[in-house]
Amino acid sequence: MASRLAADRVLERFAVMGASGGGPHALACAAGLPERVTAVACLASPAPYTEAFDWFGGMVDPSGLRAAREGRETRAEHAETAEFVPSSFTDADWAALEGDWSSLGQDAVRAGEAGPDGEIDDDVAFASAWGFELESIETPVLLAQGGEDRVIPPSHAYALLRALPRPELWLRPLDGHISILHACPLTLDWLRLNAR
C-alpha cells in the first residue's frame, strides 16, 4: 500500500509504522524508498532470520516459524493441525485484547476464518531472506519492544538494534506482544519528532 501511494505521488514523504509482522514491511519501505521515508517505527518486530543468535529462543510456540524455515509446503502442512497456544500471550496481552485492542482480536478471528494462507505466507517471508540489508537503512528507526513478549522476544529487538545504523530502543519491561500497542500514541509522536 505504501509503495502504491508513493508511486502515485499521493504522499511525497511519509513515515511508516509496523507492529509484529508489519515491522519487516515498514523496514522494507525504508530500504526501498530511502528518499521518501522520513522515519520508521517497529513494535514487537521480528529480526531477519539468522543463526547468529537463538532466533526461536523465548518463543512459547515457534513451531510455525520452524516449519516456515523448511518452505511453504512444510508450513502449510503445519497449519493443518496447528492450534494457537494461549500462553503465547501474557495477562497484559489478554487484557489489551479485551480492552482497547479488542478490534484487533476480532480481525484476527475473521482472518483465521478465511484460511491460513496469509499466515503461511507471512511466516515464510519472515523466516527467509528479506531482500534488503538492515545496514542500508539510514532512516531513524524506533524499536518498541515488550520485555515479556513470548511471540517475538526481546532478543529480536536487540538484533535489530545492532544491525540498524540509526536505531532507538524503547524496552517496555511489563509489556507483551499485544500490550506493547499501548505505546502507539507515543510512537506516533516519535515519528513526527524524528522525521528527517
pLDDT digits (tens, 9 = 90+) for 58-107: 999 999 999 999 999 999 999 999 999 999 999 999 999 999 999 999 99
- For domain 2-194, say whether CATH 3.40.50.1820 is its number: yes
**Contact assessment for residue 66 and residue 170, using Cβ atoms and an 8 Å cutoff:** no
Each domain of the chain, given as residue ranges in start order, spans: 2-194
d(CA 67, CA 59): 14
d(CA 150, CA 88): 5
Question: What pLDDT, on a 0 to 100 scale, did the predictor assign at position 9?
Answer: 66
Question: What pLDDT, on a 0 to 100 scale, did the predictor assign at position 7?
Answer: 65
Residue 5 pLDDT greater than 70, yes or no: no
pLDDT digits (tens, 9 = 90+) for 27-65: 999 999 999 999 999 999 999 999 999 999 999 999 999
The whole model's pTM is what?
A: 0.93
d(CA 77, CA 172): 36
